[in-house]
Structure formats: C-alpha cells, structure tokens
Structure 1
Amino acid sequence: MERIPKKNPDIIWKNVRGEIVLLNPVTGKYYGLNKVGCAFWEKIDGTKSLSDISALLLDEFNVEKERLLKDLEALIKTLTENKLVTLD
C-alpha cells in the first residue's frame, strides 16, 4: 500500500457536525463519510502513502488491523471509482 492518495481538487467538501460531505460538481452526486472515512479524508495531504495513513488510523481507532484494512480497501475503491481521489 505505498500508493499516495490525492484529493480531486474539483471536489467540494465540508465537515458538517463531524461528518464530511463530498460533492462531485461534475456528476452532481453527494457522498457522506463515516468516522473512519472522515479521518482518512482529513489525512490525505498528497504526501502520505496509504500505509502511512493506515498506521495513523490504527493508532487513532481501537480496531483490528485486518478489519481496518478491509474497510479502507472498500473506501478507497469507492473514492477512486467516483473520482473523488486519485492514487499516484
């Protein structure tokens, strides 16, 4: 997991009462992130690798590593398929 996620600069996002809401202005679709998704999104800075972010999330949340990695895999798939994030 050494790829580096980058936020699509066209995405409009806002933290609303602890939940991040994303808007893809091209498609007009909204996306809501759960607590772990919010933490992941906030850690994307264009320099941290997926491994770096995973390690930070493991420190932040009391969850089994396998569970976190599985959830992140699904989240990353959704974010990339919807062009909210790219992986370099």
Structure 2
Amino acid sequence: MKLTDTFTLSEDVVAREVGDETMLLDLASGTYFGLNPVGGQFWKMLEDGLSPMQARDQLLEAFDVEPELLDADLSELLAQFAQQGLITAG
C-alpha cells in the first residue's frame, strides 16, 4: 500500500501500549501484533483520524529519519496491516 491510499481500520483491532511497544490484538482472529515506538505512534495517529501522509509528516518532525526511509517503512507497515486484515483498502 502507498501512503496516499485510503483505507479503513478494522473495528476488531484493540491497541494497548506495553512498555515501549504497542500491542495490537485482532479480536476476530485472536492474533497479537507488536509495534515498535514509531509503528505504535503511526497506528495511534491513524486511529485519531490522520491520513497516512499526515501521520508521516508528523513522524518526520518527531524522529531523526530520512524521508525516503520513513516512506518505505510506513508503506511496508501499511501493507502488513492490510495483509493481516487490520485495515481494509478503500
């Protein structure tokens, strides 16, 4: 998925912070997913209604990371979210 794609978060996903990680629980499948601090903050921003690009821009300000690397990592993360059914395209 691209950062410009539209999607909907699954209503079956519950997120909780555990230490430095954010844990996602897919209630439909019973599967847990662990996110590092950047991934967890990205998920929270998406839950708060930001678009992936808006979240990306805020993450660029908060973390010392090259834009190209962040774009690639967030696109991959969105693809993993979609593959696991945590988000639905469209």
Q: State the distance in 1 between where 2:82 and 2:37 align.
A: 19
Q: 1:27: which partner in 2?
A: 29
Q: State the distance in 1 between where 2:56 and 2:40 align.
A: 13
Q: CA RMSD in A?
A: 1.7
Q: 1:85: which partner in 2?
A: 87
Q: State the distance in 2 between where 1:81 and 1:37 align.
A: 16
Q: Does the C-alpha gap of structure 1 residues 47 and 87 become closer, same or farther in structure 2, counting only changes over 3 Å? A: farther
Q: 1:58: which partner in 2?
A: 60
Task: Please list every run of 5 or more consecutive structure 2 residues that lacks an aligned counterpart in the other structure.
Answer: none
Q: 1:9: which partner in 2?
A: 11
If the length of structure 1 is used for normalisation, what is the TM-score? Answer: 0.85
User: Does structure 1 residue 36 correspond to structure 2 residue 38?
Assistant: yes
Q: Once the two structures are aligned, what percentage of the paired residues are identical?
A: 31
Q: State the distance in 2 between where 1:20 and 1:35 align.
A: 7
Pick which of 58-67 and 39-48 moved more: 39-48
CA contact (8 A) 1:23 1:29 kept: yes
Aligned residues: 88
Q: State the distance in 1 between where 2:89 and 2:63 align.
A: 24
If the length of structure 2 is used for normalisation, what is the TM-score? Answer: 0.84
Q: State the distance in 1 between where 2:52 and 2:37 align.
A: 17
Task: Please list every run of 5 or more consecutive structure 1 residues that lacks an aligned counterpart in the other structure.
Answer: none
Q: Find 1:71's aligned residue among 59, 70, 73.
A: 73
